[in-house]
Amino acid sequence: MWIFVTAVFLVLFFLFYRHPVGMLKAIGALVFTGVLVYGTYNHQQAKQRAEPSENDSIVVAVTQRPEAEQEQQRLAEHERLAEQERLAEQERQKEREAEWRRQEAAQFEARRMAALSKVKPVSTSRDCSLFIPTLDCSGPHRITVTVSNGSKETLSGLTLGWVFLPKGQGCPNTVQPKISEAVVLGPGQTTVFNLNDDGPLDEPYCIMVTGVSINP
Note the pTM of the prediction, 2 decimals.
Answer: 0.57
| pLDDT, averaged in runs of 10, over the chain (216 residues) | 57 58 61 62 64 55 72 89 92 93 94 95 78 57 90 95 84 90 95 81 83 92
Residue 11, pLDDT score = 56
Which of 98, 172, 178, 189 shows the shortest CA–CA distance to 143? 178
d(CA 21, CA 25): 6
Residue 42, pLDDT score = 66
CB 180 within 8 A of CB 134: no
Residue 69, pLDDT score = 85
CB 167 within 8 A of CB 134: no
Residue 67, pLDDT score = 80
